[in-house]
């Protein structure tokens, strides 16, 4: 990833820029998973919801969001 997050939802771009674990977790996702994350972030209605999305792929339980969405 080149570090250019200008096309990302604001909260996601900031998290990837400032949080090494979030960036590493995002980089491990497949392209399909990344697309789902971006769409989910665009639909986030609050800061807390955005944080939950980012935390779902920033930690060791990175696959939980995808499992919950029926992707994995």
For residue 17, the 8-state DSSP code is H
Looking at residue 3, its pLDDT comes to 62
Share the mean pLDDT of the chain.
Answer: 81
3-state secondary structure of 19: coil
3-state secondary structure of 3: coil
Residue 29 pLDDT level (bands cut at 50, 70, 90): very high
Would you say the C-alpha torsion 71, 40, 61, 22 has a positive or negative sign? positive
Residues 70 and 52: their CA atoms lie apart, in Å, by 17
Of the candidates 5, 17, 32, 39, which has an alpha carbon nearest to the alpha carbon of residue 53?
A: 39
Looking at residue 61, its pLDDT comes to 52
Is residue 69 pLDDT above 80, yes or no? no
Of 21-25, 41-45, 56-60, the one with minimum mean pLDDT is 56-60
């Amino acid at each position: 990833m080149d570090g250019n997050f200008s096309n990302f939802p604001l909260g996601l771009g900031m998290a990837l820029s400032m949080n090494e674990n979030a960036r590493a977790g995002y980089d491990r996702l497949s392209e399909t998973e990344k697309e789902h994350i971006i769409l989910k972030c665009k639909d986030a209605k609050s800061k807390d919801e955005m944080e939950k999305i980012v935390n779902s792929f920033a930690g060791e339980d990175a696959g939980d969001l995808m499992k919950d969405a029926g992707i994995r």
